[in-house]
């Protein structure tokens, strides 16, 4: 039998923890995309291919706005 998730468990999926998980995801994205690496260049190329010229910062902003809408 699986053990119940603890309130601080990032794998928990209750409504109260979803906002915390999204905040964690946003922070990880911001930390990752704030550095210039081949991966951030690939994200920028992917966004430009879809007509989005805001770069990785745009992606972070859209994730943040999505969080507000939840």
Distances (CA, A) of 29 to 2, 4, 62: 30, 28, 11
Residues in CB range of 53: below 8 A, 6 or more apart: 47
Say how far apart CA 33 and CA 28 lie, in whole Å: 8
Element (H, E) at 25: helix 15-33
Q: Is 58 helix (H, G, I), strand (E, B) or coil?
A: helix
Q: What is residue 11's predicted lDDT score, i.e. its pLDDT? A: 53
pLDDT digits (tens, 9 = 90+) for 9-64: 555 555 556 667 878 888 888 888 878 788 888 888 888 999 988 888 888 888 88
Q: Are 26 and 64 in contact (CB under 8 A)?
A: yes
């Amino acid at each position: 039998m699986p053990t119940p998730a603890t309130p601080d468990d990032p794998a928990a999926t209750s409504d109260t923890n979803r906002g915390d998980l999204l905040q964690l995801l946003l922070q990880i994205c911001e930390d990752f995309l704030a550095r210039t690496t081949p991966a951030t260049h690939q994200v920028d190329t992917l966004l430009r291919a879809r007509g989005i010229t805001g770069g990785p910062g745009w992606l972070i902003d859209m994730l943040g706005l999505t969080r507000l809408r939840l």
